[in-house]
């Protein structure tokens, strides 16, 4: 049986097919596209009988998805019995973060740092006993540039692949380079301190639309997995 998996992010919709314990046919689109038609076509083309959904606010998509006349499951922390977190309110932990951590755990026997570099950047730590020991949320480079643009009345082009430069030859380039420093150097700082304090050997996984830009600006060897959130769904198949 083929299962369609949807991850409704803040900026992009990610689609994958779970078949025979693996993730196939990854596809991405923005909400500027006619995502409802794309979802229906994707389900039809992959002959899916069931749909798994990762979404923070299901109210935005529930009416559409429940009209599919398929077995549709909205995933939550209650879907995963082995997962534990130090969060006092576990329901406040985004399902996308949970799935990314579980995806990393399926691929590594070590403790894992899991980074989802999307509209915002989330960094979480999960140990080898499936305990989420906490995390942090940082603004992405795009969010930093938006803050500059809104406050200063400037239009600055967002180039996620920009490498930090200390000396720049225009105001726009200076802002963009400063945003790169804010977005990515903080991640290097956090990993430096985490490893120094915890003293453990970790695998560091990264996913999300800005993953490649983060890899270019990170001092560490990052394991890039586009399908990390979908791999986390394999725990309930």
pLDDT of residue 162: 57
Where are the domain boundaries for CATH 3.30.420.40 in the chain?
Answer: 77-237
Return the sign of the alpha-carbon dihedral for residues 39, 95, 78, 58.
negative
The class level of CATH for 77-237 reads alpha beta
pLDDT in tens, the chain (237 residues): 889 999 998 888 999 999 888 898 999 888 766 888 888 889 989 888 899 999 877 777 878 887 777 888 889 888 888 889 999 998 899 999 999 999 999 999 899 999 999 989 999 999 988 899 999 999 988 888 888 888 877 776 656 555 666 776 777 778 888 888 888 888 999 999 988 888 888 999 999 989 998 998 899 999 999 999 999 998 776
pLDDT of residue 224: 97
pLDDT of residue 114: 97
pLDDT of residue 108: 94
Where are the domain boundaries for CATH 3.30.420.10 in the chain?
Answer: 1-74
End-to-end CA distance of the chain: 11
Q: Which CATH superfamily is domain 1-74 in?
A: Ribonuclease H-like superfamily/Ribonuclease H (3.30.420.10)
- Closest C-alpha to 156, from 141, 167, 138: 141
pLDDT of residue 113: 96
pLDDT of residue 133: 94
Instruction: Specify whether the CB–CB gap between 217 and 162 falls below 8 A.
Output: no
Angle in degrees, CA 229, 197, 219, rounded to 5: 60
């Amino acid at each position: 049986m083929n299962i369609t998996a949807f991850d409704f992010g803040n900026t992009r919709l990610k689609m994958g097919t779970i078949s025979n314990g693996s993730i196939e046919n990854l596809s991405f689109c923005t909400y500027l596209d006619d995502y409802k038609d794309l979802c229906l076509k994707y389900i039809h083309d992959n002959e899916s009988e069931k749909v798994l959904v990762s979404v923070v606010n299901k109210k935005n998509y529930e009416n559409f998805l429940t009209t599919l006349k398929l077995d549709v499951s909205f995933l939550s922390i209650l879907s995963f019995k082995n997962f534990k977190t130090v969060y006092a309110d576990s329901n406040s932990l985004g399902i996308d973060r949970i799935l990314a951590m579980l995806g990393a755990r399926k691929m590594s026997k070590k403790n894992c740092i899991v980074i989802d570099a999307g509209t915002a950047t989330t960094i979480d730590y999960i140990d080898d006993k499936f305990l989420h020991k906490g995390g942090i949320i940082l603004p992405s480079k795009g969010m930093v540039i938006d803050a500059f643009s809104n406050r200063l009345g400037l239009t600055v082009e967002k180039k996620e692949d920009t490498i930090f430069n200390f000396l720049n030859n225009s105001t726009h380039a200076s802002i963009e380079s400063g945003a790169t420093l804010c977005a990515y150097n903080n991640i290097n700082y956090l990993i430096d301190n985490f490893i120094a304090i915890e003293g453990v050997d970790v695998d560091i996984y990264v996913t999300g639309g800005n993953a490649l830009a983060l890899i270019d600006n990170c001092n560490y060897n990052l394991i890039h997995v586009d399908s990390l959130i979908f791999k986390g769904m394999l725990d309930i198949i």
